[in-house]
């Protein structure tokens, strides 16, 4: 990178190096990103809540400390998804119920990021309570895909993905249950990682031991994503599932791309239709690996129970988390939210027990699967970005879906296995729309996943396409 390259177009890793060398300050970065937001965000609606005054106060506090004590991010600005509280900043969860909510304390993941030198300057757009794979809500409206503003950015981390793709952020926070990091990354040609449960400590919510949700990093390339993961990870007593920070940073794994010996490729995991063009683009990526000497085989774990298991466990999670909102504000919840909460309230103990038993078998099978393969590759999302006015994908390749979440199966099946998974840029359709590749590794195998993905990134050479101006 050179001084002639605008700061907002440089990588997060390069900018953090500039911060640590003293060549730029956190205030310089805030000035640059504020100007970029003013120029771009009115066109895409990705960052509906800004907090630059708070950010500059934090920057000045950080700059008063020695560089060595400014954390891994050293003053790097970033947006926080509007599902995570930031103290003193409007946090709506995308819901009219919380349209004027200003929390007094930050979510645990926000505290962790700020303790590592991250400076929060905005909240990124979400669908209501993160439900559904399209980022729109009744508080702020729809977030538009910068590759084609008539298209969806997916969800629920749609605002974060759009901010990254357009140069309004170097890294961004997201979270993921059924693909909420991976789908927007795919639709916007950026990188999103869902780590193994516990890798990033988080507020536990009502279900203290739930394995479904995970906090994770988003960025424009693998190394930048790993940089943010290093700042997010670690254990905390408030999260009983949280894991200790590893001795070696994940950024080191990104800087040492590792060519896998044997990988599995599956266009559909045996459970979902996939748009033929999307499948072909992802298959071509696997073929590129094969030409480079990697053993590539058509295989996947047995995930046939994924639909029923995820439907049950997700519904239970929504009922536990949102039943009181349905009782108090039924007129303010979108139909998909109401459907999911009511489904959870109707569950029987037998349905829950069966789902837990089946999930355990899926985890066992997945761990055994990675005895034979270094990585599993699939499409990150089964379609390219769809029209923004469409609430969700209703059908694909001639198959009509029964519910608004069925189209997310290729992501939520992996969620159930507890394996870490990321979405990374893979290519573009004939009409210029992004397609993401999902890369999966053994549970708790983030380092191997990141080094393998860094190798794939270098081979495919797709990620330099961002940032872009909205089209």
Strand partners, 296: 263
Report the alpha-carbon distance of residue 228 to residue 403 in Å, rounded: 34
How many Å apart are CA 282 and CA 284, to the nearest integer?
A: 5
Contact between 323 and 333 (Cβ < 8 Å):
no
Please say whether the beta carbons of 253 and 451 come within 8 A: yes
Alpha carbon distance 457, 168 (integer Å) = 22
Active-site annotation holder among 95, 154, 160, 180: 180
Candidates 11, 156, 157, 189; catalytic one: 156
d(CA 230, CA 72): 7
Long-range contacts of 304-307 (CB under 8 A, 24+ apart): 304/270, 304/271, 305/358, 305/359, 305/361, 305/362, 306/269, 306/271, 306/362, 306/409, 306/412, 306/413, 306/416, 307/271, 307/406, 307/409
Catalytic pick from 81, 123, 325, 334?
81
Give the C-alpha separation, 370 to 99, whole Å: 45
* Catalytic site includes residue 180: yes
CA–CA separation, 393 vs 406, rounded Å? 9
Give the C-alpha separation, 122 to 78, whole Å: 7
CA torsion 72-450-446-231 (nearest 10°) is 10
Alpha-carbon span 135 to 156, nearest angstrom: 6
Q: Is 81 a catalytic residue?
A: yes
Alpha-carbon span 200 to 420, nearest angstrom: 12
Distance between CA atoms of residues 317 and 205, nearest Å: 10
Residues taking part in catalysis: 81, 156, 180
């Amino acid at each position: 990178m050179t001084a002639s390259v605008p700061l907002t177009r440089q990588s997060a890793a390069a900018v953090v190096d500039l911060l640590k060398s003293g060549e730029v300050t956190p205030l310089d970065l805030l000035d640059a990103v504020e100007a970029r937001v003013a120029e771009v965000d009115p066109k895409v609606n990705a960052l509906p809540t800004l907090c630059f005054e708070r950010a500059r106060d934090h920057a000045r506090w950080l700059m008063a400390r020695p560089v060595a004590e400014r954390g891994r991010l050293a003053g790097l600005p970033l947006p926080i998804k509007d599902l995570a509280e930031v103290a003193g900043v409007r946090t709506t969860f995308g819901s009219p119920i919380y349209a004027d909510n200003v929390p007094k304390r930050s979510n645990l993941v926000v505290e962790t990021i700020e303790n590592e030198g991250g400076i929060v300057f905005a909240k990124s757009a979400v669908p209501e309570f993160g439900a559904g794979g399209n980022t729109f809500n009744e508080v702020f409206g729809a977030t538009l895909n910068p590759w084609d503003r008539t298209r969806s950015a997916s969800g629920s981390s749609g605002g974060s993905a759009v901010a990254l793709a357009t140069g309004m952020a170097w890294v961004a926070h997201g979270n993921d249950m059924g693909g909420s990091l991976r789908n927007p990354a795919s639709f916007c040609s950026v990188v999103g990682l869902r780590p193994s449960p516990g890798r990033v400590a988080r507020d536990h919510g009502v279900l203290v031991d739930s394995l479904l949700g995970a906090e994770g990093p988003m960025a424009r390339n693998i190394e930048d994503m790993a940089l943010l993961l290093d700042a997010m990870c670690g254990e905390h007593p408030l999260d009983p599932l949280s894991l200790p920070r590893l001795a070696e940073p994940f950024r080191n794994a990104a800087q040492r791309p590792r060519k896998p010996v044997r990988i599995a490729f599956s266009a559909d995991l045996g459970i979902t239709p996939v748009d033929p063009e999307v499948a072909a683009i992802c298959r071509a990526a696997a073929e590129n690996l094969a030409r480079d000497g990697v053993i590539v085989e058509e295989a996947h774990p047995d995930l046939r129970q994924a639909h029923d298991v995820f439907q049950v466990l997700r519904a239970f999670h929504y009922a536990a988390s949102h039943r009181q909102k349905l009782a108090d504000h039924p007129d303010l919840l979108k139909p998909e939210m109401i459907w999911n909460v009511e489904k959870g309230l109707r569950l029987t103990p037998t349905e829950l027990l069966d789902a837990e038993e089946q999930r355990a078998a899926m985890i066992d099978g997945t761990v055994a699967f990675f005895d034979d393969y270094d990585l599993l590759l699939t499409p990150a999302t089964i379609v390219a970005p769809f029209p923004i006015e469409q609430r969700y994908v209703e059908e694909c390749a001639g198959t009509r879906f029964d519910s608004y979440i069925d189209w997310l199966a290729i992501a939520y099946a992996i969620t159930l296995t507890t394996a870490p998974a990321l979405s990374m840029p893979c290519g573009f359709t004939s009409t210029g729309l992004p397609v993401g590749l999902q890369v999966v590794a053994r549970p708790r195998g983030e380092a191997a996943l990141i080094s393998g993905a860094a190798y794939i990134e270098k081979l495919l050479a797709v990620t330099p396409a961002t940032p872009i101006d909205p089209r």
